[in-house]
A and B are shown apart, each in its own frame.
Chain A
Amino acid sequence: MAATDVELVRGALNGSEHAYRDIVLRYQRPVFGLIARVVRNSGRAEELAQDTFVKAFRALHTYDMTRKFSAWLLTIAHHVAIDEVRKGALPTVSLDDLTGPDAPPIEIVDRKSATPAMLAERAELAAALKAAIGNLRPEYREIVNLRYEQELEYDEIADITGLPLGTVKSSLFRARKELAVEMEAMGWK
């Protein structure tokens, strides 16, 4: 049976590298995904995700074990991503670059069982979605990631971002509208 987050945290606090590696393996995708959606640069997102895990380890003794660990970790990732946005160092990517022939490769779910046609369709959809998210404001991109990719509830999103619940709801409402418009413009029905 897999260890719980709290067990892994206790192990890491006792110096177990194995325990902290399990934490990294368990949360690398959500952390990287959140940051990558905000900064829109894979290489930089990876550096920042690594920075997030280093900061989390350094602050691990401050983690309240009655709280959800993922929320605590994603809060750190959120601050790391927002700091990067505030530096104004984010590159801008045009929609044409993301959907054109030179677009970066997209990771596809279940590659083995999917047919080439399905893979192509999913790749196209993933590229379109990535482009549509990329056109949102950074704050909306983060909320969209937390809501639809991390599948978190509104109160958890409010907890992570530090925004009031009402602000989260209204931001998500606007983000959804913008996303729908973008996606429909690319043929999504």
Chain B
Amino acid sequence: MKRPPEDDLDARLNELFRSVEQPEPSPGFALRTINAVRVAPLPPGRQPLRHPWVAPLGWAALIGAAAAVAALIVSQPLAAKAFASALGFTLRATAQLVDFIHAGLAVSELFTTVGNAVARAAATREGAMALIMTATVAGTSLLALQRLLFSEKEVPQWQELS
């Protein structure tokens, strides 16, 4: 069955229009349009357009703030405990140092006192006589001991065996 001329013309025009490019706006049209839409006044109750990164950025800021607060809450007892430990250690170390210095001073004082007493005693006549006598007795004892140990008549035991 032959198509009516009207339908034929319709089909031919369809074909013709498909073979050529439709007019299109210049590059950047969509961006310019969105900019115009963004500043256009809106009826009450309507939400304006948000930039695509506004919502993620807002969420990131919110999560960051929450994480910071949580970290602060969690770390506060730990930080306090660490501070208290450090303070205790410092105080103990200081006390031990003070004790050590104190003990050192006491020993030094003892030696000083004894030294002073000996010096004072030696400075007197009796003290000097006693020191001389002590030295003489010590020297005599040492000589006697030497003679006893290294006598020429006495043969060592190991020489007798050989």
Contacts and interface: CB of A to CB of B under 8 A. Distances in A.
Interface in B1-43: 6, 9-10, 13-14, 16-17, 19-26, 29-30, 32-34, 36-38, 40-43
Q: Lowest 9 CB-CB distances: which A-B pairs, in order?
A: A15-B47, A126-B20, A148-B17, A17-B49, A107-B21, A36-B23, A32-B25, A24-B30, A15-B50
A53 B36 CA distance: 9
Nearest to B17: A148
Given A33-B22, A108-B21, A183-B16, A50 B6 contact: no
Interface residues of A, number: 46
Nearest to B52: A18
B33 A50 contact: yes
A54 B49 CA distance: 12
Contacts of B24: 28-29, 32-33, 107
B25 A53 contact: no
Interface in B125-140: none
A54 B32 CA distance: 11
A16 B34 CA distance: 11
Q: Which of B17, B23, B45 has the most chain A CB atoms closer than 10 A to its own CB?
A: B23
Nearest to A183: B16
Given A17-B49, A17-B51, A49 B13 contact: no
Interface in A20-51: 20-21, 24-25, 28-29, 32-33, 36-37, 42, 45-46, 49-50
Interface in A41-94: 42, 45-46, 49-50, 53-54, 57-58, 60-61
Interface of A: 12-18, 20-21, 24-25, 28-29, 32-33, 36-37, 42, 45-46, 49-50, 53-54, 57-58, 60-61, 106-109, 122, 125-126, 129, 148-149, 151, 173, 176-177, 179-180, 183, 188
> Of B14, B20, B49, which is in contact with the most chain A CB atoms at under 10 Å from its CB?
B20
Contacts of A13: 46-47
B115 interface: no
Contacts of A60: 46
Nearest to B13: A148
Contacts of B19: 109, 122, 125
B88 interface: no
Given A13-B47, A49-B25, A148-B16, 15 more contacts: A12-B49, A13-B46, A15-B48, A17-B51, A21-B30, A32-B25, A36-B23, A53-B37, A54-B36, A58-B42, A107-B22, A108-B21, A122-B19, A148-B17, A179-B13
B44 to A, nearest CB: 11
A180 B9 contact: yes
Q: Residue among A17, A33, A129, A179 with the most chain B CB within 10 A?
A: A17
